[in-house]
A and B are shown apart, each in its own frame.
Chain A
Amino acid sequence: MLGDITLGQYFPGKSILHYMDPRVKLVLLFIYIIALFVFDTYGCYAVATVFTVALVLLSKIPAGMVIRSLKPIMWLVIISFIMHIFSHDGEVIFQLGAFKATVEGIIKGFLISLRLLLLIIVSSLLMFTTSPLLLTDALEDLLKPLKKIGFPAHELAMMMTIAMRFIPTLLEETDKIMKAQQARGVDFESGNFINRAKQMVPILVPLFISAFRRADELAMAMEARCYHGGEGRTRMKKLLVGKLDYICITWFIFVIGALAGLKIMEI
């Protein structure tokens, strides 16, 4: 049943990508995504593809996991590919009614799909190699400057942390409740849509009750430990940008430089 859902996407490991500072990873990812859109010559695509594949190998995440993370957007990619085939002028290959498939369309469609795939792969690499807690810490840190204009960076990060902390717990809870109701004769695996929807009630009611109870208990426990918001709070584990990060940043600048060079030379 729910046992197959992994806890978030984080895949613990010991690779360079795992050890990098999460803030550095976030910023570099952001720049890389922009670069994927700006630098769009054939040469750029080739370099970006090689770089992305190299990142996957470097992360030591099983290729199967990475490919599985592409599944949810596969339809989007396929549809956009088909749309592009038919929406560019040029040498006509075949015709379906009023729609003309062109060579240019196929090439364009391929490149756009490739860009989309690369985008998703690097983003999921970030999720795979960074624990959710580190990720929110990084986000809070990066958003800190916005506090001056009243942006609730700490509160937002705390909310995300709590949400992520409780997703596995809630999944576990759902699994338990589902099993318990199955033991009372509920059949989740068959029946039509309405029947299935009805069967959600015996799951949702206990789930909500327990979620509210947990929220209540957590709030109490936080207060009991003197939580009073982000003001003056210090960290036990400080995020540190170290030697490894500088090396990675240097490499990254090389790659971006190469992409920019190819774009300028229009290769």
Chain B
Amino acid sequence: MSIILQDVTYTYMPGTPFERTAIENVSIEIPSGKITAIAGHTGSGKSTLIQHLSGLLKPSNGKVLVDDVDINIKNNNESKMARRQVGMVFQYPEQQLFEETVEADIAFGPRNLGLTEEEISVRVKEAMEFVNLDYDTYAKRSPFQLSGGQMRRVAIAGIIAMHPKYLVLDEPVAGLDPRSKEELLKRIRKLHEKQGITIVFISHNMEDIANMADKVIIMNQGKILLEGSPKEVFDMSQADDILLAGLLPPKTAIILDELNRGGLKVDTSAYTVEKGVELIYQALKEAGKC
């Protein structure tokens, strides 16, 4: 059970002078039940890549399989059902709100699925709770009277209410203040833990990736540069590759590496702050310095 991209190539506006191949021969697997993070420089093709996961872009070449079903077969029910397994939250999703009330906007997706009204209202409440919007306070408000961060939560709730098996988020925390950012990431992780939803998210922030992801994919110029567990990808021996892709490894990994070079014998396998602190403390203790 997973989403598999086989040799996917996508070209924007083929046959015109504006032709541009955004991703080229990309083969990846998004494992089910895990959190996968995608990072890469601006224009490296991340957004293009993830739009293939739910069939919004059809590959110019190659195949996309969701749970072993090709999702790009026309007029095929099985293919359509497979596409529905994948929920997609775009960058700045608050720009797609259009209904008069928050409740109606969140209900839009479930209604398109043809659910009953009772079922819809259950799902709306549940989704609002998940993104931490109080139902009684916000349900009847216009989405356009909310703050940017709240609007974003409404938009995400609109997708969650469709109960996707895979949830794909394009830079979910872009443009949010640090606290809202933390809060939203925490909610996403909770969604994953509680309901076992598979998460795919794009981020420029290596700290967030290090904290959340089970699998990391680094893209560069339309190709996969690195792929693996955070431990493998953030191994400092590969730091040059990451720098090459226009990114920085997590700060913790950099600090541990520097300490090691500076002569403190410290285990460099950590990439999250908590683990890093622990390792440094240990190393200092061993060195008899505290």
Contacts and interface: CB of A to CB of B under 8 A. Distances in A.
A39 interface: no
Contacts of A11: 16-17
Interface in A190-228: 201-202, 205-206, 209-210
B73 interface: no
B112 A183 contact: no
A184 interface: yes
A179 B92 CA distance: 13
A209 B84 CA distance: 28
B112 A206 contact: no
Nearest to B94: A206
A206 B17 contact: no
B95 A185 contact: no
B144 A209 contact: yes
B287 interface: no
B98 A183 contact: no
A169 interface: no
B126 to A, nearest CB: 17
A3 B98 contact: no
Contact of B56 (A7, A12, A182, A205): A182
Contacts of B54: 183
B6 interface: no
A183 B56 contact: yes
Contact of B88 (A183, A201, A205, A209): A183
A165 interface: no
A250 interface: no
Interface string A1-23: 00110110001110000000000
A187 B93 CA distance: 19
B95 A210 contact: yes
Interface in B144-164: 144, 158-159, 162
Given A183-B87, A184-B112, A177 B12 contact: no
B90 interface: yes
Interface string B82-123: 001001111001011110000000001101110000000000
A204 B129 CA distance: 29
Given A183-B56, A184-B109, A186-B112, A12 B162 contact: no
B128 to A, nearest CB: 16
Contacts of B98: 201-202, 205-206
Interface in B161-185: 162
Contacts of B162: 184-185
A177 B18 contact: no
Contacts of B13: 3-4, 6
Contacts of A201: 98
Contact of A183 (B18, B111, B159): B159
A38 interface: no
B51 interface: yes
8 contacts: A13-B17, A180-B88, A183-B56, A183-B87, A185-B84, A185-B162, A205-B98, A206-B96
Interface of A: 3-4, 6-7, 11-13, 176-177, 179-187, 201-202, 205-206, 209-210
Interface of B: 12-13, 16-18, 51, 54, 56, 84, 87-90, 93, 95-98, 108-109, 111-113, 144, 158-159, 162
7 smallest CB-CB distances across A and B, nearest first, come from A185-B112, A205-B98, A184-B109, A183-B88, A180-B96, A179-B56, A180-B90
